[in-house]
């Protein structure tokens, strides 16, 4: 589940920051509310809560989706921090356009 969270959230941050030069800095406490079974359809939702000079913080939820009823049950939630980097891994500034969008 943690791998799914990290990968999906990174893709979300790629879109926001318009780059794939993003690395995971921190995954805060992950609270697991309900179990997940193989074959469950899991939807992952992210919301930007802060954009700094080089980092972006996302609140994240995973929900188990019942394909027959549309009901969603919270599986887990966490907060993740990503850092924009140059080609050798040094932190670099997130564009003003992105920072202004999430003030």
- Structural domain span for residue 71: 2-101
The CATH number covering residue 66 comes to: 3.10.129.10
Q: What is the CA angle 26-30-20, rounded to 5?
A: 40
For the chain, the first-to-last Cα distance in angstroms comes to 30
pLDDT per residue over 10-57, tens digit each?
999 999 999 999 999 999 999 999 999 999 999 999 999 999 999 999
- Mark out the alpha helices in 1-103 (DSSP H runs): 2-17, 96-101
Question: Which residue do the tokens 């406490």 mark?
Answer: 29
Domains contained in the chain, number: 1
Cα(50)–Cα(48) distance, rounded to whole angstroms? Answer: 6
pTM: 0.91
pLDDT class for 103, splitting at 50, 70, 90? confident
Which residues have a Cβ under 8 Å from the Cβ of 39 and sit 6 or more positions away? none
């Amino acid at each position: 589940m943690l791998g799914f969270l990290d990968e999906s959230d990174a893709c979300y941050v790629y879109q926001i920051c318009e780059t794939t030069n993003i690395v995971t800095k921190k995954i805060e406490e992950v609270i697991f509310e309900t179990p997940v079974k193989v074959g469950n359809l899991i939807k992952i939702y992210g919301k930007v809560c802060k954009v700094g000079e080089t980092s972006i913080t996302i609140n994240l939820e995973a929900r188990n989706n019942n394909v027959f009823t549309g009901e969603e049950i919270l599986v887990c939630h966490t907060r993740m921090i990503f850092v924009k980097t140059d080609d050798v891994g040094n932190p670099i500034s997130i564009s003003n356009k992105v920072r202004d969008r999430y003030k």
